[in-house]
Amino acid sequence: MAELLGAHGIKGWIKVRPLLDDPMLLAGLEGLTMAPGAKMRREPEQPVAVIGLRRQGRGWVMQIAGICDRNDAESLRGRVICGTSDMLPQLEADEFYWRDLEGLRVWSEEAGVVNLLGEVDYLLETGANDVLVVRPCEGSADDRERLIPWVWGDVVTSVDVDEGEVRVRWYLDA
């Protein structure tokens, strides 16, 4: 739900990169845990309580219960705040969590011809719009990786999580 980036100030605040559309959700959630990041030695998760969260410039800072000074905050660099999917709010019919899109097959519709482009590997957040990173899979039209902008209606025409597919208007040579 968030990555801890390092200390902010001397009172234990921590710079964070929220991984939620609405970072303020972190301040109201109970049952969060803190775990080592991907490049850290494996350690058990530990419960964590967010007691403060605010925007700081273009980023966010967080205060965690029990973290009272800069040294404590700096020791958390590289860790991640985790939660369970049932903590997240219910979405509208045309909204999706990124994790639900990963692994879906991407089909292009071009002049009545349908081609399999591959599977969603992950998503990128850019300034203009999010981007689907589509890797080739068995049955793909070719072996190219594609970056497809998440522009609902213009590029992405439909998503069916239950069927495991995303439909896009995208040309094979694009």
Q: Look at the alpha carbons of 20, 74, 47, 37 in this order and tell me if their dihedral is positive or negative.
A: positive
Domain locations in the chain?
A: 2-86, 98-168
Both tokens of 73, joined, read 């905050």
* Dihedral sign (CA 66, 67, 71, 77): positive
Pick the CATH number of 2-86 from 2.40.30.60, 3.50.30.10, 1.20.120.1200, 3.40.50.970: 2.40.30.60
Per residue in 75-125, pLDDT (tens digit) is 888 889 888 777 776 777 777 777 888 999 999 987 778 889 999 999 888
**pLDDT classification of 40: cutoffs 50, 70, 90:** low
How much is the pTM? Answer: 0.61
Asked if residues 80 and 18 have their Cβ atoms less than 8 Å apart, the reply is no
Fold of 98-168: SH3 type barrels. (2.30.30)
Residue 18: beta bridge partners? 2
